[in-house]
Structure 1
């Protein structure tokens, strides 16, 4: 079988290694430059590859193509493949064919990384042989090829879901569906909703589906397309249908297994993190973790890098790195959790954002707004009218310097950009790392 891999980053190289192990004839093609660490992995296994181009005669003869989630479904080469009837799937779809491990899968517009990391943290405490994969950690395919885990916690984006057909999540978590990546989905919210709901695909009565009851889309979609799985919803307060909720000062879970613990013992704070904690607890319980491991994991989880991460305090001003906030709803959650006046850093590559959702919070919470992007015109249109002090910046050094000028002692400088990072940075991690480095440089030397 000839298997072609499009994209030679984490997922693509992992898929190539697994395909080779299963006896496939493999070819890897990347339109961009392949990182040296991935070239080393390919060369060490004598896997043929190309970069800087897609050679049609080496690709259009494939029996199956495994596509990087970053390549659009409507890319010309992908359309050519589909026109020829060549299956185009995701790395996760491919990897799942070659393991019988339990799959705990998490998606949603916001909270995926925190919730996935928290579930993984709990399952490790429980002593389970578990891997962390998907949008976080090593690729699922590489772990299936080289490890022998009994279960996997998989953070799954909408792009990855689009390439999944026979994949089955034993435990599926859908945290929320809010506008994101609409530029990728024809600026049609229903297309994006349909993508997220694919996480229920192929679930059976033996499986569990965990979701937030307050989402405006999920309940409606479940009415249209009932699921045979055990449905476990969580809510911000006690509700008739919800099986997870806060009651007074206690986190209460009624299913899939009863569980309670004091809210004060949760390591993560904020309404959005309470939702993440409920989802993680329910998923871990469904996956077989005992109550004590769940309680310990929820109590000592350290949090996720680039998500409301404390970067330091300089001259009485607190700096917080929330570079993972790449859509409006994530920025809303971050602002909502702030207890001090905020200097908000916002901007980047716009994905069809509607900023009207956060304008009331910006007016209420923010002392100033600092724009950080190659093109800040849309931000000026939405936020200049609030009358707040504003700075227009196009690099992280200029941005942090502007924040230092605008912030008062006791304020919080919050990097929560609402946007993708690719206009000025390699990725959101690069954006957050540059922010932290600059803040660190302002800190007084330790004695």
Structure 2
């Protein structure tokens, strides 16, 4: 992809957009960065970029037309309905995203991982498996570093393990991972995609360009994900914790087994997997399948699965204070993720929930909360919506907090020895925070201060 001398508009001046603008400047493109926020909202974050020669159109968007711009690169957090993206598509100006841009400049095979829940843990785990196998492995994308920042540091003998979101997949065109993995598909981001069909179609773009020699790893236990086996051009490999598979990675009599074109080989007892919970067993099965199809041995899979501790902000134990365990599950940004968090504990829970709803229904989440929680502390933009669902489900002990700090202190005050104080909001963080990481880090800090 030759961008030298091309006039390129980067829409969205967040983490991804800044990385893209910097990358394109290094490729000698003529770059304009635009955002609907005024420059004073960035607290100097753009100063170095603008000093390097990037032009800025901040506070409003420039006109997009052929001759004015040759390409538009849209950040994943920017919806496709914004004016510059709509204008570009109407007027024939190509539109792409950071994931596709990174792919065009990559020389390295990709393992791409998406899904509603579990993709961060699975991505990090796959990266650890390949590092243990002796690979130089990049873990990035929707987790950690934007791919364009580092993609050219990796060669044909390395591996790139990329977490990819439905937002990133909306703008791919030629993206073709060697392994495409979908953990599961449950309702999420319906405020952006509108329908489950549109959301599923965005996820399915992960494998659209696959062909001979490529693999699609799918969750056999999730009907929406299993159904995608009929449309992927890649070779399908399933994983399952509930069924014995003719081919794939599955559980039988308490053991994880691998079967690829022959007899089944035992990988390890599932009780020895380091990360806890049934959802993490699914993540471990998925990661093992993605690595095994590229030749990683069962012994190396076992080695990593026995030691991998999990990822930050996902069922992360922060501290134990006076017999109360404090757990950071800020990564629980939708009801399904928080349901899995609630299921992971067999002791009374003081639950902190609330934030920005992404078009989700809280009914099932509230029903489980009725069974698992002793106290609910609700906060954020959709607190009233969660409270309504909780009361309809029969939850009566509900506390309302005006701020995040107050919510954590309320939970601390309500907790008794033997309880778990669980931050698992079932919502996005964007009403109060930049991202779920910032929310989880503040929870950590408040708990440390309590300790």
TM-score, with structure 2 as normaliser: 0.92
Shift of 1:358: 2.1
CA distance in 2, matches of 1:309, 1:425: 19
Shift of 1:5: 1.3
The aligned residue for residue 409 of structure 1 is 417
**Contact 1:2–1:25 (CA under 8 A) maintained in structure 2:** yes
Q: For residues 398-425 of structure 1, give each alpha carbon's deviation from its aligned partner in whole angstroms, at most 9, with x where no partner exists.
A: 1122212322210111111111111122
1:397 aligns with 2:405: yes
Shift of 1:152: 0.7
Q: For residues 339-366 of structure 1, give each alpha carbon's deviation from its aligned partner in whole angstroms, at most 9, with x where no partner exists.
A: 2111111111111211122233212211
**Contact 1:256–1:282 (CA under 8 A) maintained in structure 2:** no
SS at match of 1:114: helix
The aligned residue for residue 322 of structure 1 is 329
Q: 1:41 to 1:110 in 2, by over 3 A?
A: farther
The aligned residue for residue 371 of structure 2 is 364
SS at match of 2:46: helix
Shift of 1:35: 5.0
The aligned residue for residue 235 of structure 1 is 240
SS at match of 1:358: helix
CA distance in 1, matches of 2:137, 2:189: 30
SS at match of 1:233: strand
**Contact 1:256–1:286 (CA under 8 A) maintained in structure 2:** no
Q: 1:148 to 1:30 in 2, by over 3 A?
A: farther
SS at match of 1:176: coil
CA distance in 1, matches of 2:414, 2:433: 24
Select between 400-409 and 209-218 the one with higher mean Cα deviation.
400-409
The aligned residue for residue 271 of structure 2 is 264
The aligned residue for residue 377 of structure 1 is 384
1:22 aligns with 2:27: yes
Shift of 1:311: 1.4
Q: Which of 284, 292, 300 in structure 1 is aligned with 2:291?
A: 284
Shift of 1:384: 2.0
Shift of 1:52: 3.1
**Contact 1:15–1:95 (CA under 8 A) maintained in structure 2:** no
Q: 1:253 to 1:394 in 2, by over 3 A?
A: farther
1:53 aligns with 2:51: no
**Contact 1:322–1:415 (CA under 8 A) maintained in structure 2:** yes
CA distance in 1, matches of 2:42, 2:152: 21
Select between 430-439 and 267-276 the one with higher mean Cα deviation.
430-439
Q: 1:268 to 1:282 in 2, by over 3 A?
A: same
CA distance in 2, matches of 1:435, 1:119: 28
Shift of 1:127: 1.5
The aligned residue for residue 195 of structure 1 is 202
**Contact 2:357–2:382 (CA under 8 A) maintained in structure 1:** no
Q: For residues 350-395 of structure 1, give each alpha carbon's deviation from its aligned partner in whole angstroms, at most 9, with x where no partner exists.
A: 1121112223321221111110113422112111241431101121
Shift of 1:23: 3.7
1:112 aligns with 2:119: yes
SS at match of 1:217: helix
Q: Which of 106, 123, 127 in structure 1 is aligned with 2:130?
A: 123
Shift of 1:114: 0.5
**Contact 1:342–1:366 (CA under 8 A) maintained in structure 2:** yes
- The 5 A counterparts of 1:296-311 are 296-311=303-318
Q: For residues 220-247 of structure 1, give each alpha carbon's deviation from its aligned partner in whole angstroms, at most 9, with x where no partner exists.
A: 3433x2x232211111223345521111
**Contact 2:106–2:152 (CA under 8 A) maintained in structure 1:** no
Q: Which of 215, 238, 254 in structure 2 is aligned with 1:249?
A: 254
Q: Which of 170, 178, 183 in structure 2 is aligned with 1:175?
A: 183
- RMSD of the TM alignment (CA)? 2.2
Gaps spanning 5+ residues in structure 2: where? 1-5
Q: 1:96 to 1:25 in 2, by over 3 A?
A: same
1:426 aligns with 2:434: yes
Q: For residues 142-174 of structure 1, give each alpha carbon's deviation from its aligned partner in whole angstroms, at most 9, with x where no partner exists.
A: 212455573211000000000101110110000
SS at match of 2:447: helix
Q: What is the count of residue pairs matched by the alignment? A: 440
**Contact 1:18–1:144 (CA under 8 A) maintained in structure 2:** no
Select between 287-296 and 210-219 the one with higher mean Cα deviation.
287-296
**Contact 1:13–1:41 (CA under 8 A) maintained in structure 2:** no
1:293 aligns with 2:291: no
The aligned residue for residue 31 of structure 1 is 36
